[in-house]
Chains A and B, each alone.
Chain A
């Protein structure tokens, strides 16, 4: 009897969560006819924004993976003083409101920022530039990847690495050929979450990089602008974004299930 009410509670909780999380997204599609969806793809502003979102988020993701993978490996495999503090600092952008992130980026990299002046002299401009969008995306989305990658590496059996080392593999080789393939699922999931967060980035981009068609106006920013002018267009662009995100999420989840031998082996 006791076990039954608990089981029921779990089911109710899941049903409520599922309904709450899927209903709004489902209604986006109920409110948009497929025709309107396709028509919105012919709209210059929407198309330009989608293109910008795609390439800025891809660059952000590439940077995050390039820096984040070794960094996460270090955090996962070494124990040192201040490690917990370091991890907390890295997680901070996860809980900071996006607008605050934007202001923080401005005060660091803006024209009057701490390092912004030096960047400007070096000819690097971020504010009002697509590069600024990449920076904003990397800042807010990076921690998603770092966290997932670290967890992924922590789950790798240390004796595999040790075995590879005993057999003469350098640490770099063990990292590339044992740790990365073994942590694959965590890395891929982290990358997917991170990419999704980057595409969805709004507040930090607006505050730090601004919003201008073709340069800094990503799809998320275009949706908000369209919302004031043309609700149907905003809805259609939202639907496109949901469909693309869902597609990517599914692809990546399937990819993560590939047997290790196929991705790692040579």
Chain B
């Protein structure tokens, strides 16, 4: 009996190791990339495109920056808030950051929602989700809200402060919330379930993405290659545009 359980366990382990081993190609550049969660889908496609064997860690940029400050060493860090990278660069933890994309803030609502302007968010008993303070998606949303005349009524509707943009999208798709502040690209990626309500230019914060190689990485060449493809006429530029990101203004 015990032997049979043991054999089964052994079989399972063998299967698991084969399954894991399959993704272990050794030739293409292998880079570990920490990236803002709003870059999730576009970076995955991009890494396939350039044939990089990238391992990603997607989360709120503030969390990823904190990990690097605490000694984590990915090869590349892409942040939805350039200040976070500038700070790391000043500490000598990353190389010179490059701004590679622009995004805009929208109000995401479930399909068929009656909300269609910022002022609609002030209606009583709405459930609105936002990024937590310090999380870029949250800071940008607060920046926009600061310029709204009736912001108190909107702030009173806030129900959850999520650790990253993905969390906000999830709350909307699951039907838990009525509206959320996310990036235009997040809604585009979830177009089947969500609609975007535009935020007027007068309220728009300036949302830039920057990227840098992390110092002390094992694969500086792979990192350089990954970063290079995101600007000029690299393959990443078109993909970013296709996903709804804009080119950074010169």
Contacts and interface: CB of A to CB of B under 8 A. Distances in A.
A211 B69 contact: no
A16 to B, nearest CB: 21
Given A206-B167, A211-B132, A216 B174 contact: no
B170 A207 contact: yes
A50 B127 CA distance: 24
A202 B69 CA distance: 23
A45 to B, nearest CB: 10
A35 interface: no
A112 B66 CA distance: 36
Interface residues of B, number: 26
A217 B159 CA distance: 11
A212 B161 contact: yes
A227 interface: yes
B176 A110 contact: yes
A138 B62 CA distance: 31
A93 interface: no
Given A128-B127, A225-B163, A228-B135, A210 B69 contact: no
Interface string A78-121: 00000000000000000000000001001100111000000000
SS class of chain A's interface: helix, strand, loop or mixed? loop
Contacts of B133: 225, 229
B159 A112 contact: no
Given A225-B132, A228-B134, A106 B174 contact: yes
Contacts of A128: 127, 159-160, 176-177
B37 to A, nearest CB: 12
B202 interface: no
B91 interface: no
B91 to A, nearest CB: 13
B67 to A, nearest CB: 9
A195 B176 CA distance: 27
Interface in B129-146: 129, 132-135
A238 to B, nearest CB: 13
Contacts of A231: 66, 69-70
A127 interface: yes
Nearest to A234: B66
A213 interface: yes
Contact of A206 (B65, B159, B163): B163
Contacts of A207: 170
A144 B132 CA distance: 32
B176 A106 contact: yes
Interface of A: 103, 106-107, 110-112, 127-128, 206-207, 209-213, 215-217, 224-225, 227-229, 231
Q: In the A-B complex, list the 4 residue pairs whose CB atoms are closest, starting with the nearest.
A: A210-B160, A228-B62, A112-B175, A128-B159
